[in-house]
Amino acid sequence: MNKHLFILIIAIVLSSCAKKQDPFLISKKSIGLLTDSTQVQELKTIYKNDSLVYVKDSNEFVDDGRDIEIFDTSGKPLLVLTPNKASDSTATIETVKIMDSRFKTAKGLSISSSFGDIEKNYKISSIQNTFKNIVVFVNEIDAFFTIDKKELPAELQFNLDAKIEAVQIPNKAKIKYFMIGW
SS3 of 137, please?
A: strand
**pLDDT tens digit sequence for 70-110:** 999 999 999 999 998 766 668 899 999 999 999 999 999 99
CATH architecture of 25-181: Sandwich (2.60)
- Round to whole Å and give the CA distance between 176 and 133: 9
Q: Which pLDDT belongs to residue 21?
A: 79
For the chain, first and last CA: distance in Å? Answer: 52
Beta strands in 3-129 (DSSP E): 25-26, 30-31, 34-35, 51-54, 68-71, 77-83, 93-98, 104-105, 126-129
Integer-rounded Cα radius of gyration of the chain: 20
DSSP 42: G
Write down the pTM of the prediction: 0.82
Name which of 159, 178, 27, 28 is nearest 115 in CA terms. Answer: 178
- Round to whole Å and give the CA distance between 73 and 91: 26
User: Is the pLDDT score of 133 beyond 90?
Assistant: yes
Phi-psi map region of 27: left, alpha, beta (phi>0 left; psi -120 to 50 alpha): beta
113 close to 121: Cβ distance less than 8 angstroms: no
**pLDDT tens digit sequence for 9-64:** 666 655 555 557 789 999 999 999 999 999 999 999 999 999 999 887 655 555 55
